Structure 1
Amino acid sequence: MPGRLFLTTPLEDIAHWLGVGRDGVPRQEPRRNIQPGQNIIALTDAGFEEMRWGIVPVGRVNARGRPVMETIINARSETVFEKSAFDGVGRAVVVVDGWYEWTGEARKKTAWRISGEVPLIFAAITDVWTAPGGREVKQAAMVTCEPNDDLRPIHHRMGVLLKPQDVDLWLNGTVKEVEDLMQPWPNGKLTIERADDVDWAAA
């Protein structure tokens, strides 16, 4: 949806692939198990920025005016620009080599690794939480949509994936202009395999 992420390709190579230049790209060790609540690297109009994966919705309310209590890890594409809980959010993309999902019952779950022929570009929204003491924490959440036929047996949602040429439109386009981007990824372009070799206790 995604559940966890992995990124082993150097960020400098990703920057070159996206054509955004390598100046100011943060250094990052290979990460094979990126979990919600941990920091990720997101690309905004200002360049690559470190953000917390998960929006702490302090001060945000739902359609009934009640505080949003749960941390927002993923946001539904169908309502992300309509819900009051997302008023004023920014946009970013998160580039990874792939992500993990699970199927099955508790204690009998099967982990799946999903990747592509090239790095995958997730559409994301961003927010800034002002923590006690005034420290500002940049945050991000992935935008999700209906799954394609490849993912449907594994999960009922998938992250919105973008082509490199659509990144600028996602970052700068109007809500109307980006609506067509929030679609399931074409079938046959993802590799799905069991992830029995992952140390889930490691980062």
Structure 2
Amino acid sequence: MCGRFVSSSSPERIAAYFGADTAVETLGQNFNVAPTNDIYGVVDTPDGREVQAFMWGLLPVWAKERKLGQKMINARSETIAEKPAFKGVFKKHRCIIPMDGFYEWAPGVEGGPVTKAGKLAKRPYFIHRQDDEPLAVAGLWSAWRDKAEGSDAPWLHTASVITTSANATMEPIHNRMPVILPKAMWDQWLDPTNQNIDMLASLLVPAPDNLLTMHEVSTDVNNVRNKGDHLVTPV
């Protein structure tokens, strides 16, 4: 799963990196993006490729309440084509979610800190590209509005991160990781007219073992109120 990540790049830098136009004002740097936070997403539109803003936590059009998005931050690649919440948007509402890295929690070790319940405390790690380039994470998006507010209710754009099994780099930490798309696959993934489910599913694989690196960071990242750049400092 992917439950926290870093978004420190400006929309202008993201647009330049992905060959897009900026259609959103800056959301500000956030070194501890949490579910339901606003995030950047790269999408193909009739007017060209754009960087837009989304709420992290996909809301299907049939969702009755906004709080459902808290449970829809991730979509498993293995079941994405069958799950009612994802199969429709998988066909034509795909995006790239730019990340400057993400966090994952490794099991605690003997002699290390313990929780109030007396269990070994998990250790947070910051995972990022070895070359420090942005991660192009595969995502899905949807447009939703609260029907309880009537037909004039504003549309809310929401998104989910697609996850897959861990590669050899991630396995010691966690058994899942975000799907990271190579540049050669960006056009195929973002093209809304591409509805070849088998081909799209073939892109949802673990990243090469030599792409990522990681280091342990402060448990300050456990608190979603902490958002500063000190969170990625090695400990």
Taking structure 2 as the reference length, the TM-score comes to 0.75
Alpha-carbon distance in 2 for matches of 1:2, 1:25: 24
- Residues paired across the two proteins, number: 195
Q: Specify the code of the residue in structure 1 equivalent to 2:41.
A: A
More helix by share: 2
Q: Which residue of 2 aligns with 1:24?
A: 23
Cα deviations across residues 68-113 of structure 1 (Å, max 9, x unaligned)? Answer: 8972111111111222232421111100100001123673121100
Q: Report if aligned partners of 1:111, 1:195 keep a CA contact under 8 Å in 2.
A: yes
Q: Displacement of 1:11 after TM fit?
A: 2.3
Report matched runs for 1:147-162 at 5 Å: 147-162=166-181
Query: Does 2:115 align with 1:96?
Result: no
Cα deviations across residues 142-180 of structure 1 (Å, max 9, x unaligned)? Answer: 111111011011111111101123111111232222222
More strand by share: 1
Q: Specify the code of the residue in structure 2 equivalent to 1:42.
A: G
Q: Report if aligned partners of 1:57, 1:72 keep a CA contact under 8 Å in 2.
A: no
Q: Which residue of 2 aligns with 1:181?
A: 203
Out of 42-51 and 93-102, give the one that drifted further: 42-51
* Consecutive aligned runs of 4 or more in structure 1 exceeding 3 Å deviation: 197-200
Q: Specify the code of the residue in structure 1 equivalent to 2:28.
A: E
Q: Which residue of 2 aligns with 1:48?
A: 51
Out of 78-87 and 42-51, give the one that drifted further: 78-87
Q: Displacement of 1:39 after TM fit?
A: 0.9
Alpha-carbon distance in 2 for matches of 1:124, 1:101: 18
Alpha-carbon distance in 2 for matches of 1:16, 1:126: 21
Sequence identity, in percent? Answer: 30
Q: Which residue of 1 aligns with 2:230?
A: none
Taking structure 1 as the reference length, the TM-score comes to 0.86
Query: Does 2:193 align with 1:141?
Result: no
Q: Displacement of 1:58 after TM fit?
A: 6.3
Q: Specify the code of the residue in structure 2 equivalent to 1:32.
A: F
Report matched runs for 1:1-203 at 5 Å: 1-21=1-21, 23-46=22-45, 47-57=50-60, 59=62, 71-89=71-89, 90-104=93-107, 107=115, 108-116=121-129, 117=131, 118-131=133-146, 132-133=148-149, 134-172=153-191, 173=194, 174-196=196-218, 198=220, 200=223, 201-203=225-227
Q: Report if aligned partners of 1:122, 1:161 keep a CA contact under 8 Å in 2.
A: yes
Structure 1: 5+ residue stretches without partners: 61-67
Alpha-carbon distance in 1 for matches of 2:85, 2:14: 32
Q: Which residue of 1 aligns with 2:231?
A: none
Structure 2: 5+ residue stretches without partners: 109-113, 116-120, 228-235
Quickly say closer, same or farther: Cα 1:24–1:126, change in 2 above 3 A: closer
Aligned with 1:167: secondary structure?
A: helix
